[in-house]
């Protein structure tokens, strides 16, 4: 029995599905549009509300700044006025004219005053209203009151009121025994004296004027006084009433303690308490419950909050005023929702009626249009399925009386061809490395897709546009057609800006598009010559579809060109950086000279000889481009670790040399012993000894000391091998003693003093050996400079116990040369640093072997090298090449002052011995000579007198090849 075919899902005709679907979509759209319109209006109103609160807070903030900034400026000037320099109350009163002018010019200043360290005080108050005049019982024509507290001899402090008219004439002086005030006890005085700049208090109710304000104080320039002023905030109160969003909107300005600073009804802001005192009202004391809710809204919230109060919906908001740093203020607002959304609801009702009418009229029309549209759509579906299956073969165009469907048919047909061409171009752009071939591919595909007759690409070279490539697809268009475009001239700023603002423009049948990078930089221009029968045209706001393809293709080409250039620039930057490091290493020590610059050349010559070898050991060896680049970088950086090697060790010319040659210190000890001998002889004469015998003894002692110092000095030079007899004599000399009477721990560095702590100080005078190995001479090696057996780099160098040993006898006993084991380790350690430094660099995969190439030139074929003790087969060919290049360059270098350069034959003879001793790779040494690499290098880098004849067979025989 055959398998039953799966049941097909039920289906309906396309025109039915389209008609019903379009009708449902229309109904849904109308409903959603209506609801969206209402929600949009509601959101707009809420946004306007938020903006209104921001405007209110900004407006109030500006008002506040108009109070504080002029007051602060005035206070800064007063810090340098006569109030600061006056020595007594009489001189301070001389400042009345300028202070009266300041009070009159700024009606928001309630009072100006100054306090002094001796307890004296002076205050200038304008008598602007009847409340103030009545409180101070001022004469009718008085406009200014000056209150003073001054020293009055034995009477102590005396308080006085002085009244002045508009011309600053004194009207009356009243002594006020009840007027007592010590500014030194006030916080404003203490805070201002303790710091520079202005001190601002929290807003509060001024007791005298019953208005809200703040006090500003500042220390005078000479620290002789504190200047202060009271600034009112009345302008904020007058502003609130004009900032309502709706008639019933409630607005208030509060501080972080919910104290009211400003409200439309100013009488509610000030609360009178028992005892005649006044204070700011709390928000709940205003008698406006909805503002209590608004005050609980966090000022940093994102928008308004909807609440219910007294059977009415409200929108409450809170905003922080941005300019209040020390004492932040909040603007709170409550708006009735019925007033806020009244207009939006009216719009919703109107839109609902309009939408219903449109829906009734549109449904029959939609049904008819659906019938017309669905007939050719089936063919378009088949074409789309073919594109989905990556079948871009040409097909007959779908025709329709409906323009959109007809254009869709043409577009589908063109889409297949365009996608195929665009994919081919994308593959080329992603894989092609050469800019010339990349430009050729882009231009050819562009001409094919847009059916153009010819084209050309110009690239920016410096400050000019230079033609890079041109193509023609028609016999009547010459290949040099683009020469008439005068783009080879220098680009000025106007031309570049024009290209950036209009990335594509056309003139007749010619289209030009700018090739711009992702950051808008102009890298070139692509010119396309279209068929005159099909020029690039616009249809209203619609541009020819070919323009979009040209734009997309040019953008992709520009990115590809930019990427290729960036890669080239990055390589150039890396190359310059590498050469910079190498030059710095060579310049650091005159012992290396141009070593880091010559080794890469020799390494490349030898590696290329192995690459070109067609027989023997290196016949299979081939260098890829990545291998060549890795060798180039590794060779240039093979000694980069030398930047960490101390120069005083590299340049150590004598055994006792550290930062300076300590032979001079030893010489002085011999001088001391000679003086001691002379003193002893003189004492012997004074004691009555025979003068001639004493003189002979002194001469003999001096002769022995001179000979012994000459021997020590000779040992210090390191010119001769220290055999056991010389070492024994050195120990014998070291056993001599001399007396030190001065503390040797005075005037030494902190580090040296720390080393001395391990040994108790000797009592003075102290008897010491002539040459000493003291405990403080041994410098401990930090733990981080030791290698674990399983360190990640594989280092297996023997690490000396001490980082340095400065012992005099120890250094003078060095068997050969001037370097101790610790010194040699420091110098050899440069290769460790080279590997560590290069290992930290994020080399790409193709350059991952750079550390191995650079770090292997001190390894040996027998495993006795350093730092990893690798044997020959554990090293790559390029690492072994580096070892030969490093040795040969060092042997033949003529810029090292401590040795004469070897001739070519001498260097080859030494290297033959090294190859025979399994120091160098024998096969590479054979290739080095048989390929003539040694001769090629010598002709380029060695002096003529060094280039003698080399007996190659003899050298190979000596090497055991």
The highest-confidence range among 276-280, 421-425, 927-931, by mean pLDDT, is 927-931
Query: Strand pairing partners for 892?
Result: none
Question: CB under 8 Å to 457, separation ≥6 — which residues?
Answer: 439, 442, 443, 467, 468, 469, 470, 515, 524, 525, 526, 527
- C-alpha distances (whole Å) from 784 to each of 331, 748, 803, 804, 824 are 61, 26, 12, 15, 19
pLDDT tens digits, residue range 735-748?
888 888 877 777 77
6-56 per-position pLDDT tens digit: 555 555 665 566 666 666 676 677 667 767 766 666 666 666 666 666 666
What is the residue-wise DSSP string for 415-455?
HHHHHHHHHHHHHHHHH---HHHHHHHHHHHHHHHTTEEEE
pLDDT range class, residue 666, cuts 50, 70, 90: confident
Separation of alpha carbons 636 and 768, rounded Å: 51
Q: Give yes or no for residue 62 having a pLDDT over 90.
A: no
Q: Which of 469-478, 706-715, 739-748, 796-805 shows the lowest per-residue confidence on average (mean pLDDT)?
A: 469-478
What string of H, E and C letters represents the secondary structure of 361-387?
A: HHHHHHHHHHHHHHHHHHHHHHHHHHH
Dihedrals φ, ψ of 716, to 5°? -65, -30
**Which is it for the CA torsion 480, 486, 492, 494, positive or negative?**
negative
Least confident of 88-102, 328-342, 686-700, 759-773: 328-342
| pLDDT value for 662 | 66
Taking alpha carbons only, the member of 270, 899, 813, 190 closest to residue 591 is 899
Per residue in 202-261, pLDDT (tens digit) is 777 776 677 777 788 889 888 889 998 887 776 666 666 666 777 888 888 888 788 887
Which comes out higher in pLDDT, residue 826 or 756?
A: 756
pLDDT in tens, 442-457: 777 777 777 777 888 8
* pLDDT in the model for residue 121: 93
Q: What is the pLDDT of residues 904-955, one digit of tens each?
A: 888 889 888 898 889 888 999 998 998 998 899 888 888 888 888 988 888 8
- Closest by CA position to 175, among listed 199, 187, 159, 188: 159
Q: Give the contacts of 68 (CB within 8 A, at least 6 positions apart).
A: 200, 214, 216, 231
3-state helix, strand, coil in the chain (%, to 5): 50, 15, 35
Which helix (H) or strand (E) segment is 580 a member of?
helix 545-588
Among 85-99, 224-238, 820-834, the minimum mean pLDDT is found in: 820-834
Give pLDDT, residue 268.
78
- Tokens for 645, please give them: 């090697």
C-beta of residue 240 within 8 angstroms of C-beta of residue 262: yes
By residue count, the chain amounts to 961
pLDDT band at residue 164, thresholds of 50, 70 and 90? very high
**What number is the average pLDDT over the span 657-674?**
74
> Who has greater pLDDT, 486 or 435?
435
Average pLDDT, the chain: 77
Which helix H or strand E contains 632, and what residues bound it? helix 625-636
Average pLDDT on 105-115 reads 85
CA distance 417 to 421: 6
The token pair that represents 802 in the structure block: 């001490």
Strands (E), 294-410: 305-309, 312-320, 329-336
The answer to whether the peptide bond before residue 765 is cis (omega within 30 degrees of 0) is yes
Per DSSP, which regions of 531-576 are E strands?
538-539, 542-543
Between 629 and 411, where is the model more confident?
629
Looking at the predicted structure, is the pLDDT value of residue 160 above 90? yes
Instruction: Please say if the pLDDT value at position 544 is more than 60.
Output: yes
Q: What is the pLDDT of residue 591?
A: 60
pLDDT in tens, 776-786: 888 887 877 77
Residue 889: the pLDDT is 87
CA torsion, ordered 513, 518, 524, 526, to nearest 10 deg: -30
Rounded percentage of the chain residues whose pLDDT exceeds 90: 5
Q: Which of 109-118, 202-211, 581-590, 694-703 has the lowest mean pLDDT?
A: 581-590
Tokens standing for 863?
Answer: 């495993």
Gap between the Cα atoms of 340 and 320, Å rounded: 23
Residue 887 clears pLDDT 50, i.e. is over it: yes
pLDDT value of position 197:
83
Write down the pLDDT at residue 143.
92
| 133 has a pLDDT exceeding 70 | yes
Q: Decide: 912 and 958 in contact? Cβ < 8 Å.
A: yes
More confident residue, 775 or 2: 775
Is the CB of residue 273 less than 8 Å from the CB of residue 279? yes
CA distances from residue 823 to 645, 651, 730, 897 in whole angstroms, order as listed:
10, 11, 21, 20
Summarize the confidence of residues 658-669 as an average pLDDT: 71
E strands, 637-777, where? Answer: 737-740, 766-769
Instruction: Output the pLDDT for position 490.
Output: 47
Mean pLDDT for 839-847 is 80
pLDDT for res 482: 46
pLDDT-based confidence at residue 761 (cuts at 50, 70, 90): confident
Q: What is the mean pLDDT of residues 642-665?
A: 64
Q: What mean pLDDT is predicted for residues 638-655?
A: 65
Sheet holding 522-530, edge to edge: 464-472, 452-461, 522-530, 510-516, 504-507
- How far is Cα 803 from Cα 821, in angstroms, rounded to an integer? 10
Task: Give yes or no for residue 1 having a pLDDT over 50.
Answer: no
Range with top average pLDDT, 242-256, 610-624, 823-837: 610-624
d(CA 703, CA 944): 51
Backbone angles phi, psi at 262, to 5 degrees: -150, 140
Structure tokens that stand for 401 in this block? 């009386």
* Candidate from 27-31, 198-202, 391-395, 616-620 with smallest mean pLDDT: 391-395
Query: CA-to-CA distance for 827 and 647, rounded, in angstroms?
Result: 10
């Amino acid at each position: 029995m055959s398998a039953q075919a799966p049941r097909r899902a039920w289906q309906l005709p396309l025109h039915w599905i389209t008609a019903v679907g379009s009708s449902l979509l229309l109904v849904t759209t109308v409903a959603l549009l209506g609801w969206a319109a209402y929600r949009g209006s509601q959101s707009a109103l809420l946004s306007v509300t938020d903006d209104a609160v921001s405007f209110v807070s900004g407006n109030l903030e500006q008002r506040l700044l108009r109070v504080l900034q002029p007051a602060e400026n005035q206070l800064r000037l007063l810090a340098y006025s006569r109030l600061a320099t006056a020595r007594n109350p009489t001189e301070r009163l001389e400042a009345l004219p300028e202070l009266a002018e300041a009070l009159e010019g700024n009606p928001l200043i309630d009072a100006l005053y100054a306090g002094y360290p001796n307890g004296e005080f002076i205050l200038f108050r304008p008598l602007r209203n009847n409340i103030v005049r009545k409180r101070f019982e001022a004469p009718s024509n008085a406009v200014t009151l000056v209150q003073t507290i001054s020293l009055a001899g034995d009477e102590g402090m005396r308080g006085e009121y002085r009244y002045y008219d508009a011309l600053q004439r004194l009207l009356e002086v009243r002594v006020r025994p009840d007027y007592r005030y010590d500014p030194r006890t006030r916080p404003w005085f203490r805070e201002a004296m303790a710091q520079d700049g202005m001190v601002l208090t929290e807003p509060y109710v001024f007791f005298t004027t019953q208005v809200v304000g703040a006090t500003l104080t500042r220390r005078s320039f000479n620290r002789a006084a504190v200047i202060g002023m009271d600034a009112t905030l009345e302008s904020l109160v007058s502003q609130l009433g004009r900032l309502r969003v709706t008639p019933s909107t409630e607005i208030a300005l509060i501080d972080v303690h919910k104290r009211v600073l400003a409200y439309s009804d100013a009488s509610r802001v000030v609360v009178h308490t028992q005892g005649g005192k006044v204070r700011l009202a709390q928000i709940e004391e205003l008698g406006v419950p909805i503002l209590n809710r608004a005050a609980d809204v966090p000022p940093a919230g994102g928008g308004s909050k909807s609440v219910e109060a007294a059977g009415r919906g409200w929108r409450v908001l809170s905003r922080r005023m941005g300019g209040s740093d020390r004492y932040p203020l909040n603007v709170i607002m409550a708006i009735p929702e019925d007033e806020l959304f009244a207009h939006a609801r009216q719009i919703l009702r109107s839109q609902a009626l309009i939408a219903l009418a449109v829906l009734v009229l549109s449904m029959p029309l939609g049904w008819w249009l659906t019938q017309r549209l669905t007939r050719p759509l089936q063919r378009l579906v088949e074409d789309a399925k073919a594109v989905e299956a990556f079948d871009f073969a040409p097909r007959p165009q779908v025709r329709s009386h409906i323009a959109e469907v007809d254009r869709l048919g043409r577009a589908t047909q063109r889409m297949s061809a365009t996608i195929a061409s665009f994919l081919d171009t994308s593959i080329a752009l992603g894989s092609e490395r050469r800019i010339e071939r990349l430009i050729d591919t882009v231009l050819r595909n562009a001409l094919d897709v847009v059916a153009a007759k010819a084209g050309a690409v110009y690239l920016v070279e410096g400050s000019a546009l230079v033609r890079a490539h041109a193509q023609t697809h028609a016999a009547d268009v010459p290949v040099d057609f683009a020469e008439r475009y005068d783009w080879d001239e220098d680009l000025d700023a106007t031309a570049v800006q024009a290209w950036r603002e209009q990335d594509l423009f056309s003139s007749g049948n010619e289209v030009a598009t700018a090739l711009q990078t992702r950051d808008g930089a102009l890298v070139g221009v692509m010119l396309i010559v279209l068929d005159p029968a099909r020029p690039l045209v616009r249809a209203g706001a619609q541009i020819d579809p070919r323009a979009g393809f040209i734009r997309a293709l040019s953008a992709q080409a520009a990115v590809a060109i930019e990427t290729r250039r960036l890669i080239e620039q990055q390589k150039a930057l890396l190359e310059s950086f590498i050469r910079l490091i190498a030059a710095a290493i060579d310049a650091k020590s005159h012992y290396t000279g141009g070593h880091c610059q010559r080794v890469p050349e020799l390494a490349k010559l030898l590696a290329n000889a192995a690459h070109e070898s067609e027989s023997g050991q290196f016949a299979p060896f081939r260098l890829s481009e990545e291998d060549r680049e890795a060798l180039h970088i590794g060779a240039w950086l093979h000694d980069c670790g030398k930047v960490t090697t101390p120069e005083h060790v590299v340049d150590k010319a004598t055994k006792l040399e550290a930062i300076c040659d300590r032979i001079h210190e030893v010489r002085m000890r011999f001088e001391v012993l000679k003086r001691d001998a002379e003193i002893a002889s003189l004492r012997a004469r004074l004691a009555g000894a025979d003068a001639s015998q004493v003189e002979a003894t002194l001469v003999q002692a001096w002769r022995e000391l001179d000979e012994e110092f000459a021997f020590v000095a000779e040992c210090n030079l390191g010119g001769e091998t220290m055999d056991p007899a010389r070492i024994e004599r050195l120990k014998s000399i070291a056993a001599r003693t001399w007396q030190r009477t001065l503390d040797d721990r005075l005037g030494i560095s902190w580090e040296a003093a720390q080393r001395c702590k391990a040994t108790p100080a000797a009592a003075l005078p102290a008897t010491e050996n002539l040459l000493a190995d003291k405990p403080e001479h041994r410098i401990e090696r930090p733990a981080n400079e030791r290698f674990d057996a399983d360190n990640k780099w594989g280092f297996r160098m023997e690490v000396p116990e001490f980082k340095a040993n400065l012992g005099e006898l120890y250094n003078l006993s060095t068997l050969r040369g001037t370097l101790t084991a610790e010194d040699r380790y420091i110098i050899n350690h440069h290769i460790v640093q080279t590997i560590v430094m290069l290992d930290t660099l994020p080399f790409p995969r193709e350059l991952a072997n750079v550390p191995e190439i650079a770090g292997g030139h001190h390894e040996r074929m027998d495993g006795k090298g350093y730092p990893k003790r690798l044997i020959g087969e554990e090293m790559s060919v390029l690492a072994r090449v580096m070892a030969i290049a490093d040795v040969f360059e060092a042997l033949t270098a003529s810029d090292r002052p401590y040795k004469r350069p070897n001739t070519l034959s001498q260097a080859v003879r030494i290297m033959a011995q090294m190859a025979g001793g399994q120091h160098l790779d024998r096969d590479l040494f054979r290739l080095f000579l048989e390929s003539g690499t040694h001769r090629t290098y010598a002709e380029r880098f060695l002096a003529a007198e060094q280039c003698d004849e080399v007996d190659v067979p003899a050298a190979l025989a000596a090497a055991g090849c």
